[in-house]
């Protein structure tokens, strides 16, 4: 495994506000990462720091082994598509697609043309006049066709309809299979992308609270449902991520249920169920800090 991004003790403050708080992480080559978290959690700042657009207050960042700040050798291999991407005044999509190959060595013009047709982007309309979804599509096309070894998508599909989002997922996976690269994707639509992601990083309040492979994460929690008494007996002293109940029935989400636990639960007449990635992350990011102190 090759590590393409190494972050150690990274902190970014804007005045008194700490956007990224003492973060350390590793990104490995040729995987699709999900950078998930609530609005204002620090996702965009994190991506801007990794691409040299923001300057760190403290800590070190190594991208391809070097600091990304003002480093052409590193940034030449990076593409960063932002949700709120600014385009030069009166640019049309055709200007974006015409200039992109000058900056991305691996640009695939045929692939870009296919994507333009797929997303039905009007290349001759001013970008100012595009709909929110068409605007997002322009960014998505650049991000895919650039084939940069390290590609960041920050909320790439605001306004994209369900069909267009599916096209994005399909094309990303297809192209990723033929041209492996490292992709870091931030999004709110966790369940939609959960099959795409190989690794999940959840950031909350500037801190990383989950940094796990998607498969492990999916298996890490289980819902246990049954009568309140039976559930309480099973849970015992375990930490409960979430609890809900109707009448005498209760359902709890708990972590680290092993095979022995499962047998015990089943024999106690309890029902076990999977937890979706989205539910798991919602549960983990909404509980008070003291309760997840153990994981952070």
Partner 1 sequence: MTTLAQALPASRSNEAGRRTLAVVKLHFVNRFQILYLPLIVLGAIFVLNLAIWWIIVESTGGVNSANRSSSHLGYSGAVSYIYVYGIVIAVQAISRTFPFSLGFGVTRRDFYLGSVIAFVGLSLGFAVVLTIMSSIEIATNGWGLGGRMFAPLFFTNSFWLLRFVMYFCAFLFLLFIGTAGATFYVRWRATGLTIFFGIIAIILLGAVAYFTLGHQWPAVGTWFDQSGPVGVTVWLLAPAAVCALAGYFVLRRATPKN
Q: For the residues of 26-94, what is the DSSP string, one character each?
A: EEETT-EEEEE--TTSSHHHHHHHHTTSS--SEEEEEETTB--TT-HHHHTTEEEE-TT----TT--HH
Cβ closest to partner 1, residue 17 vs residue 102: 102
Q: Which of positions 62-101 make contact with partner 1 (CB under 8 A)? A: 62, 64-66, 70-82, 84-92, 95, 98-100
Structure tokens at 265: 């639960």
* Total residues at interface with partner 1 (CB under 8 A): 47
In the bound complex, what is the minimum distance in angstroms from residue 85's beta carbon to partner 1? Answer: 6
- What's the alpha-carbon Rg for the chain, to the nearest Å? 22
Write each residue from 101 to 140 as x if it is in contact with partner 1 (CB under 8 A), else as -, in one continuous string: -xxx------------------------------------
Is the C-alpha dihedral spanning 183, 120, 166, 131 positive or negative?
positive
Is the C-alpha dihedral spanning 80, 145, 168, 208 positive or negative?
negative
Contact flag: residue 57 with partner 1 (CB under 8 A): no
- CA dist 10 and 23 (Å) reads 5
C-alpha to C-alpha distances, 161 to 120, 126, 137, nearest whole angstrom:
12, 21, 10
In the bound complex, what is the minimum distance in angstroms from residue 44's beta carbon to partner 1? Answer: 8
Structure tokens at 54: 């923001």
Write each residue from 146 to 165 as x if it is in contact with partner 1 (CB under 8 A), else as -, in one continuous string: --xx----------------
Structure tokens at 35: 């950078």
- CA dist 211 and 105 (Å) reads 31
Contact flag: residue 51 with partner 1 (CB under 8 A): yes
In the bound complex, what is the minimum distance in angstroms from residue 53's beta carbon to partner 1? Answer: 5
- CA dist 148 and 152 (Å) reads 9
Q: Which of positions 178-237 make contact with partner 1 (CB under 8 A)? A: none
In the bound complex, what is the minimum distance in angstroms from residue 248's beta carbon to partner 1? Answer: 50
State which of residues 11, 53, 57, 251 lies at the interface with partner 1 (CB under 8 A): 53
Write each residue from 21 to 50 as x if it is in contact with partner 1 (CB under 8 A), else as -, in one continuous string: --------x------------------x--
Chain residues that interact with partner 1, rule: CB under 8 A: 1-4, 6, 29, 48, 51-55, 62, 64-66, 70-82, 84-92, 95, 98-100, 102-104, 148-149
């Amino acid at each position: 495994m090759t590590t393409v991004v190494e972050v150690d003790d990274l902190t970014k403050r804007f005045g008194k506000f700490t956007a990224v708080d003492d973060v350390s992480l590793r990104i490995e080559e040729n995987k699709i990462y999900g950078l998930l978290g609530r609005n204002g959690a620090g996702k965009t700042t994190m991506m801007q720091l990794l691409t040299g657009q923001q300057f760190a207050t403290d800590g070190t960042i190594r991208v391809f082994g070097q600091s990304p700040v003002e480093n052409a050798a590193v940034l030449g291999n990076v593409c960063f598509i932002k949700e709120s991407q600014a385009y030069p005044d009166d640019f049309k999509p055709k200007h974006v697609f015409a200039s992109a190959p000058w900056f991305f060595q691996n640009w695939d013009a045929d692939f870009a043309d296919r994507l333009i047709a797929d997303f039905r982007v009007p290349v001759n309309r001013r970008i100012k006049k595009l709909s929110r979804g068409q605007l997002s599509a322009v960014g998505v096309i650049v991000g895919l066709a650039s084939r940069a070894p390290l590609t960041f998508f920050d909320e790439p599909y605001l306004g994209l309809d369900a069909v267009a989002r599916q096209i994005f997922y399909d094309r990303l996976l297809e192209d990723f299979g033929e041209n492996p690269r490292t992709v870091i994707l931030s999004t709110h639509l966790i369940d939609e992308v959960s099959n795409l992601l190989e690794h999940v990083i959840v950031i909350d309040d500037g801190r990383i609270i989950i940094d796990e492979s998607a498969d492990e994460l999916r298996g890490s929690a289980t819902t246990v449902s049954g009568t309140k008494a039976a559930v309480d007996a099973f849970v015992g002293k375990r930490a409960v991520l979430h609890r809900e109940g109707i009448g005498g029935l209760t359902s709890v989400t708990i972590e680290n249920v092993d095979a022995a636990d499962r047998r015990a639960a089943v024999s106690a007449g309890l029902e076990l169920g999977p937890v979706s990635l989205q539910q798991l992350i919602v549960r983990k990011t909404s509980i008070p800090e003291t309760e997840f102190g153990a994981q952070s």
